Chain A
């Protein structure tokens, strides 16, 4: 007996026969159970990254991509997941920009898909190839807003929300979790989409500052992370710096994830690299161009690129060395401060990477 009554048309369109692979994302009971069993006492949860990943990321887990594509996403923690070679993961995010690093090494086999690509830098050819070769299976198609509402429903503490998004589109025909229902209070026909609350197994959220208990502060766009933090069965906080609890209490009002959501706290300066970190460092833009253009050009080149940068570095410090070391840090900090408005005079010109021109530098 199946646990959930999935959208039959979508199951057929997506050719999903065994629906058990879908269950965990919407299994409220097990999520609540996991939240009840978490350490609720205010204890020191600091640990090294490798220990946090080994303890809290399990084969088969549903993983989220936090931040926004290449902004404040916990890339360096993702690289540790790759180094540890986890298997059979599912990925959901809005967007799913970083899924392809996992696909490259065969870690993620199932995708809940909302957006995969790099905007004007192009489509994700690694994802395209993996789909065609059957190395990854799409379990559900979403809009960004639909995923955001599913996470937000979990944070609100409700079974789901009625949405006016995705109606009439093929998304509801390719998403087993969505059902079109009638607004119960309307006399006239008024269709809406029931979006269930979404409960990923594990989320890694990179923050600006955290205390040792897991109170964690985000500056700049939170995107979906406050909702995701409340929803996930297991939450790893990586932080640019560890600060005293009183620093959070007195100086960091605003976007805070409460400590009792967190299972692990990892001190992780430059943990968002090669993404940007608001207030701290700007993108190595040529890195992403090289990733999309050179890595995208063939599976062989993608592997060369990922082996060099992901498996070829042991931690973020080696990654920074490859980007240009202290000079890179200084430029990246200068650019991000200027982008946010603290220096009107900076020139944002940079030497773009193309297939015929490698500037060899990353700022």
Chain B
């Protein structure tokens, strides 16, 4: 059983902030990990009528225990239908999906994502990561994308080591010129801040920061020059005690995704 009185950890903080992006009655495409926690949290709190979609084909499940993987039976528990993989992504292209959530290993100043490899030489990477999975597909097709991950200067470089998924590509109108559809990345969420993109240049900009984090601290955690919004930077709304309790008792009681991973 989890300690219900412990302060929120970064993963729980992240799950709450992501959940706040979800509007009720929307169709939400969910990647593995924290996005799953956020989707189910939203459903159990302010957005009880959302429909969750997963890339292995499960969609619209009746929630059970926390899915252990995007292929887990919990992702298609009592689902009215299960999609083949090609049809699942096609729902994003065809405009049936409102918002998608994905993780990253690196994200750059234009919201391009890398989940392939770290290092400057493709043939001799420092470390090979998983590859795209559905990351590229959702980024290419989904109307509104939200990117989620941890923030350090290495994870927020000026240019990603490999462009797994295109965000705003090289800024301005380059995403659309490359032929991609959807509105591109709307937000990047880390435990320290919520970032959006300048409407014209498409460069990453601070939207709100976790209480205690100043613009200067956020800048130090970033490998490129962050844009500052006009006026004061608002605080990100912190997780409420009620939502923290719901995560720990109902959404992820065994901490599959919200306890910092073991070695």
Contact = CB atoms under 8 A, between A and B. Distances in A.
B132 A69 contact: no
B140 A192 contact: no
Nearest to A113: B131
B125 to A, nearest CB: 7
Interface stretch (A166-174, A238-246, A314-322): A166-174
Contact of B262 (A69, A128, A338, A354): A354
B70 to A, nearest CB: 7
A141 B77 contact: no
A144 B133 CA distance: 5
Given A13-B122, A283-B68, A168 B169 contact: yes
B178 A167 contact: yes
A352 interface: yes
B164 A169 contact: yes
A293 B78 contact: no
Contact of B137 (A165, A170, A192, A340): A165
A211 interface: no
Contacts of B69: 69-71, 118-119
Given A145-B85, A192-B179, A117 B130 contact: yes
Contacts of B256: 120
A348 B65 contact: yes
Contacts of A170: 116, 162-164
A71 B71 contact: yes
A352 B65 CA distance: 16
A71 B82 CA distance: 14
Contacts of A222: 57, 82, 84
Contacts of A144: 55, 85, 89, 132-134, 137
Interface stretch (A49-57, A202-210, A223-231): A223-231
A223 B134 contact: no
Interface stretch (A17-25, A76-84, A148-156, A256-264): A148-156
Contacts of A190: 179
Given A115-B132, A148-B86, A165 B55 contact: no
B127 A119 contact: no
B84 A227 contact: yes
Contact of A164 (B124, B127, B181): B181
Contacts, number: 191
Interface string A256-293: 00000000000000000000101000110100000001
A119 B56 CA distance: 13
Nearest to A170: B163
Contacts of B68: 283, 285
Interface range on chain B (Cβ under 8 Å from partner): 35 or more
B151 interface: no
A130 B133 CA distance: 20
Interface string A327-340: 00000000010111
Contact of B73 (A70, A151, A339): A339
A167 B73 contact: no
Nearest to A346: B65
Contacts of B89: 144-145, 148, 165
A185 B136 CA distance: 25
A127 interface: yes
Nearest to A349: B254
A68 interface: yes
A221 B82 contact: yes
B192 interface: no
B137 A341 contact: no
Given A120-B32, A148-B84, A349-B254, A128 B127 contact: yes
B124 A151 contact: no
A171 to B, nearest CB: 6
Contact of A223 (B32, B56, B177): B56
A116 interface: yes
Contacts of B124: 132
A115 B140 CA distance: 17
Interface string A128-166: 100110000000011111101101100000000000111
A155 B178 CA distance: 28
23 contacts: A68-B70, A94-B85, A95-B133, A117-B131, A119-B69, A120-B33, A123-B127, A124-B130, A128-B125, A143-B136, A144-B133, A144-B137, A145-B89, A152-B84, A164-B180, A165-B141, A168-B163, A168-B174, A168-B178, A180-B179, A220-B73, A278-B73, A339-B72
Given A167-B180, A227-B84, A340-B73, 8 more contacts: A95-B133, A145-B85, A148-B84, A148-B85, A165-B141, A171-B136, A221-B82, A222-B57
Closest 10 A/B residue pairs (Cβ): A191-B179, A145-B137, A168-B178, A117-B130, A115-B133, A143-B136, A339-B73, A148-B86, A68-B71, A145-B89
Interface of B: 32-33, 55-58, 62, 64-66, 68-74, 76-78, 82, 84-86, 89, 93, 116, 122-125, 127-137, 140-141, 162-166, 169, 174-175, 177-181, 254, 256-257, 261-263
